[in-house]
Amino acid sequence: MSASLILNDPTLLQTNAFIDGVFTAAPNGKTFAVRNPANGEIIAEVADCGADDIARAIDAADTARHSWAATTAKERSAILRKWNDLCLENIDDLAAILTAEMGKPLAEAKGEILYGTSFIDWFAEEARRVTGDVLESPFPDKKFIVLKQPIGVFGAITPWNFPNAMITRKVSPGIAAGCTCVLKPAEQTPLSALALAELARRAGFPKGVINIVTGMDAPAMGETLCADERVRKITFTGSTEVGRILMRQSADTIKKISLELGGNAPLIVFDDADLTEAVEGAIASKYRNAGQTCVCANRMFVQSGIHDKFVAALAEKVAEMKVGDGFEEGVVQGPIIDQQGFDKIERHIADATAKGGVVVTGGKPHEKGGTFYQPTVLTGATRDMQLFSEETFGPVAALFKFDKEEDAIAAANDTIFGLAAYFFTKDVSRIFRVSEALEYGMVVSNTGAYSSEVGPFGGVKASGLGREGSKYGIDEFMEIKLMVIGGV
């Protein structure tokens, strides 16, 4: 274990894959290093499993699925609740592991654990609210009944930017529905996943119900999950590019699919917005997790009447943001996850400034070195810039000036993506008009923060398929069966 990561309970730092209820090394003993993005230090060496280990995990999940599906919803709910309680009891350690491997500030990491556990808590309740139907029969001598049943084994693949919550948001509804799972976490953040596995083991999930397989060979592991007939569903959060691959690979076995993919969120500030609210909302949406979330505002459209005041107020606040190691007191922005992410930010800034964009604050690598980047505000953004069509995934607010409402809506919708969209206005009719006109799965006005277990999370167009969380989330893991009884 890294000297700088001190845990109250060091046994939460598991480094082997969790298959069939047992923490298991890769068969050939291979490992890979997990590094702290703030300083490059190795935190731990983790089992580098591959396609064969995924296949073993599928065997375990398939063996466990009948007995797990046969438990009562109340029994599943009780174990989920135990898992939730154990996560909350260990929140300090879970947050420290998360900050160490991912870099987000410790307070934000704690916020993620609370957000993550909210899904376990919610689906512990939803497990008991799954109901079928008795239909009005079209025949005098036949009864029509609708059953909802667990889909079976599901495969889950998760990203590094929410190493805890993206797991609980998938695993909790699936397990609550009576399914079993095989999950592959991102290679940058396997430790948060394995800590969740250890707490699931302590909560008493039967062996094989939750399997977590770590490894570097994501393409082979994903292919194995998709090709196996026994895996009836794939649930994925990550890039649109990988989402497309998984969808293609799942075609042969006709799997049910949920995809939470990239965003390219617009944030529109109208002249009649409350300036303070708009600036606070823009900061909450843009700079959380150093801009590395799928719902971060990527393009800010600001109406000409409020534009200059908004730029000044935003730049003043952004220039004050403290950047540094997530464990340092007062830090609100950690490092970028890796060099590749850092390079993309540099590329977007170079492209934007070459095309007339003006950096108001930031715009350069941070003096702390490594992958730290200055929180940035850039004005004069235009549609021909890379940052108009691609997620920057970094702390860069790109501001576009507009005059008419319809122009802002047209520009906001001019993207293949459709995850989250934000706008600020005090005009109630505009709230309805613009909410209906924006082609996004989540349209949010007058706030920059809204994610919770209660609201359905998901996108349209190239941002994905299906919804997570909420009362709709459990349906993604169930099949509807029609039961007809004749001769009655």
Residues binding ligand NAP (CB under 6 A): 157-162, 184, 186-187, 216, 218-219, 222, 237-239, 242, 245-246, 260-263, 294, 391, 419, 459, 464
Min dist CB 294 to ligand NAP, Å, is 3
Min dist CB 329 to ligand NAP, Å, is 28
Which residues share a beta bridge with 149? 479
Closest residue to ligand NAP, based on beta-carbon distance: 222
The answer to whether 294 is a known catalytic residue is: yes
Min dist CB 144 to ligand NAP, Å, is 37
Tokens of 217: 């060979």
CA-to-CA dists, residue 294 to 102, 206, 481, angstroms: 16, 34, 35
User: CB-wise, 222 or 266, nearer to ligand NAP?
Assistant: 222
Contact 304, 401 (CB under 8 A): yes
Catalytic residue among 87, 181, 294, 296: 294
Q: Tell me the pairing of strands 17-19 and 22-24.
A: antiparallel
Contact 16, 193 (CB under 8 A): no
Catalytic residue among 101, 108, 260, 453: 260
If you search the block for the tokens 């084994």, which residue do you land on? 153
Alpha-carbon distance of 410 to 423, in angstroms, equals 14
User: CB-wise, 56 or 184, nearer to ligand NAP?
Assistant: 184
Min dist CB 29 to ligand NAP, Å, is 19
Min dist CB 417 to ligand NAP, Å, is 9
Alpha-carbon distance of 305 to 278, in angstroms, equals 14
Contact 391, 399 (CB under 8 A): no
User: CB-wise, 82 or 256, nearer to ligand NAP?
Assistant: 256
Helix (H) or strand (E) run with residue 66 in it: helix 51-70
Question: Which ranges constitute the DSSP H helices of 228-303?
Answer: 240-249, 275-287
| Rounded (5°) CA angle 279-283-292 | 155
Sort 81 into a burial class: Cβ within 10 Å, 0-12 / 13-18 / 19+.
middle
The answer to whether 260 is a known catalytic residue is: yes
Alpha-carbon distance of 186 to 221, in angstroms, equals 12
Catalytically active residues are 260, 294
